[in-house]
Amino acid sequence: MGAVRDVLRRPLGHFTERTLAGLLLVLGAGVGFGLLLVLVRVQWSPLYDVDHGVASWLNEQVSQVGPLVTVLNAITDLGGRPVIVWLVTVAVVGLLIRRQGRLAVFLIVTGAGALILDPSLKTLVDRLRPEVDVPIGTYAGQSFPSGHALGSMVAYGALLLVFLPAMAPRWRKPAIALVATVVVLIGFTRVALGVHFLSDVLGAWLLGAAWLGVTAYAFRLWRLERGRPAAPLTEGLEPEAAHEVAPAPDEEKLLPHARAGIAEIVVGWVLVFGALYAFGMFVSYYADGTFLARLDETVPRWFAEHGTPFLDEVSWWWSKVGDTHAILLISMVFCPLVLAIWRRWRPVLFVALTMIGELTLFLASAAAVDRPRPPVENLDGPMPTSSFPSGHIAATLCLWVAIAVVMLPRTDRWWRWLFVAAAVIMPVGVAVSRMYRGMHHPTDFMGAIMLTTLWIGLLYWVVRPNEDVRAGNRPEIEAEDVDTLDDELAKAGRPG
């Protein structure tokens, strides 16, 4: 019995020693936030002067430099709700796929707490946002605390604690420093852009640190109750889950011949561009009297003559399927899921290179060919790029064809054909919508098909995205287990 007591006391002693400093920091952050909240609420004069002085000075320095404002807006978006929600959601789904339900619950509870605390405290304090001489951006709602600063502190901190065990020890301190830098930069942008006071950001950091510390402490208590040693936070929340939370721990080499592959991709890009340029110049300036010229003249005119308000609305929405935001959103959901299920970077690389190549080929071809839009009413108004090839259609084609290429051999379930159907229906719908709206000729659609066929064919030959399937790689979720997968969230929520 004495030996048993010693075994139980050792983890408890280690846990107490390792968390005492952490508890003091959490309590300090909480007390600091409470004090700052009171000072803001009573409008303490020294704090008021510092807040308004810093806001005015930074506005004077930043507002006159356009490129700096662009950079600051790009950085501040990293702390915005869309990015934060996407990161946490993808991480939670990946953890559930990897059977790490308790880590998923930690992310959900931590993130939900931040979402609740931010609007609640803003309503309680009801502080107006800064008024600066040269407004850079407009944001609705109250000012204290900063939602971007709070969200970035909590979300990036929680993600770091979850995925830290997947990193080699030598990379953990740089990772911590990188996350800290990102959080600080996001907070700085909120003040520099004139949408928050300095105390809004400081209060958000203190509140975020306190809340993150509370949830991390609760997770460590659960580990102790489960008889697991309480590791220092520099090793992450769950060191034993290092293999499971690593994106692709089993992949030794991304490409067998990396230098040769890069050279083939670069040369292939040039050849694809050459083919697009030749076809684009022909249909734009040298195809008079041919079937292609008659097609380009007849189809836009026919669509313009048969337009209706209802079709205008439908075509606008369908056209949005191929814009940059929709394509990026689908890519950013699909790639992490593939990585979580199959533990391979190669299919992700294939999709990423497909979309990067599509964008660069489209921009280069559009600039080189410089084809005018069809001579009918352009419902989307003036566009910054020329008509050939269609960027919307090419992006939609490349994305859905790449997804179908990756998914078709990876499952034997009937729903794999849905990806093939999407690779046909989505681009055709976008193509019809773009031509209906007078933005593209039929041969612009042909150019998008040429771009997709040549570029994806090249990448498939070089990258070989499904090589792991041929080598016998099995998914984390087997096809026959999809309908019977246990609810990991429910398991994580059950005691014991």
**Residues 335-382 pLDDT 10s:** 888 888 888 888 999 999 999 999 999 999 999 999 999 988 888 888
Distance in angstroms (rounded) separating the CA atoms of residues 484 and 486: 6
What pLDDT is attached to residue 444? 93
- Matching residue, tokens 């699909």: 334
Between CA 305 and CA 332, with CA 431 as vertex, the angle to 5 degrees is: 145
Evaluate whether 244 touches 94 at the Cβ level (below 8 Å).
no
- Mind listing the pLDDT tens digit for each residue in 225-261? 777 776 777 777 788 877 788 777 656 567 767 788 8
> What is the largest distance, in Å, between two alpha-carbon atoms of the chain?
99
Residue 270 has pLDDT above 60, yes or no: yes
8 domain-assigned: no
Do residues 358 and 475 both lie within one domain? Answer: yes
Note down the domain range covering 163: 13-245
What pLDDT is attached to residue 135? 67
Mean pLDDT is lowest, of 189-193, 439-443, 454-458, for 189-193
- 439 contact partners, CB below 8 Å, separation of at least 6: 373, 374, 378, 379, 380, 383, 387, 390
- Mind listing the pLDDT tens digit for each residue in 391-435? 899 999 999 999 999 999 888 888 889 999 999 999 999 999 999
- Mind listing the pLDDT tens digit for each residue in 40-52? 776 777 877 787 7
Report CA-CA distances (Å) from 131 to 28, 122, 137, 147. Answer: 31, 17, 11, 18
Do residues 206 and 277 both lie within one domain? Answer: no
- Matching residue, tokens 């506005």: 59
488 domain-assigned: no
347 domain-assigned: yes
496 domain-assigned: no
240 domain-assigned: yes
Last residue in a domain, options 245, 266, 291: 245
Residue 82 pLDDT class (50, 70, 90 cuts): confident
- Mean pLDDT calculated for residue range 277-300: 91
Do residues 222 and 129 both lie within one domain? Answer: yes
Last residue in a domain, options 216, 245, 274: 245
Percent of residues in the chain assigned helix, strand, coil, to nearest 5: 75, 0, 25
User: Nearest to residue 151, comparing CAs of 92, 105, 75, 84?
Assistant: 84
Last residue in a domain, options 245, 266, 299: 245
- 154 contact partners, CB below 8 Å, separation of at least 6: 110, 111, 113, 114, 208, 211, 212
Evaluate whether 125 touches 115 at the Cβ level (below 8 Å).
no
492 domain-assigned: no
Do residues 29 and 52 both lie within one domain? Answer: yes
494 domain-assigned: no
- Mean pLDDT calculated for residue range 308-323: 88
Global pTM?
0.78
What pLDDT is attached to residue 16? 45
Evaluate whether 346 touches 252 at the Cβ level (below 8 Å).
no
Residue 302 pLDDT class (50, 70, 90 cuts): very high
What pLDDT is attached to residue 402? 95
Evaluate whether 435 touches 373 at the Cβ level (below 8 Å).
no
Report CA-CA distances (Å) from 201 to 46, 183, 299. Answer: 17, 10, 56
Do residues 182 and 143 both lie within one domain? Answer: yes
Residue 267 has pLDDT above 90, yes or no: yes
Do residues 233 and 270 both lie within one domain? Answer: no
Token readout for 451 is 């771009």
**DSSP 8-class letter at 128:** P
Do residues 181 and 265 both lie within one domain? Answer: no
At 57, give phi and psi (nearest 5°).
Answer: -65, -45
- Mean pLDDT calculated for residue range 269-281: 95
Q: What is the pLDDT of the chain when averaged over all its residues?
A: 82
Distance in angstroms (rounded) separating the CA atoms of residues 206 and 129: 19
Share of the chain above pLDDT 90, in %: 28
**DSSP 8-class letter at 408:** G
Distance in angstroms (rounded) separating the CA atoms of residues 495 and 105: 13
Q: How many CA atoms lie within 13 A of 385 on its CB side?
A: 20
Do residues 132 and 83 both lie within one domain? Answer: yes
What pLDDT is attached to residue 41? 72
What pLDDT is attached to residue 426? 93
What pLDDT is attached to residue 250? 59
Distance in angstroms (rounded) separating the CA atoms of residues 216 and 284: 62
490 domain-assigned: no
Do residues 415 and 352 both lie within one domain? Answer: yes
Evaluate whether 431 touches 313 at the Cβ level (below 8 Å).
no
Residue 442 has pLDDT above 90, yes or no: yes
Do residues 282 and 424 both lie within one domain? Answer: yes
Between CA 247 and CA 253, with CA 248 as vertex, the angle to 5 degrees is: 140
Do residues 149 and 222 both lie within one domain? Answer: yes
Which helix (H) or strand (E) segment holds residue 255: the answer is: none
Q: How many distinct structural domains can be found in the chain?
A: 2
DSSP letter string, 139-182: --S--SS-HHHHHHHHHHHHHHHHHGGGS-HHHHHHHHHHHHHH
- Mind listing the pLDDT tens digit for each residue in 12-51? 444 444 445 555 666 666 677 777 667 777 677 787 778 7
What pLDDT is attached to residue 275? 95
- Mean pLDDT calculated for residue range 302-317: 89
Do residues 275 and 299 both lie within one domain? Answer: yes
Angle between helices 442-463 and 416-436 (to 10 degrees): 150
- Mean pLDDT calculated for residue range 206-235: 79
Token readout for 364 is 């280069």
Q: How many CB atoms lie within 10 A of CB 162?
A: 24
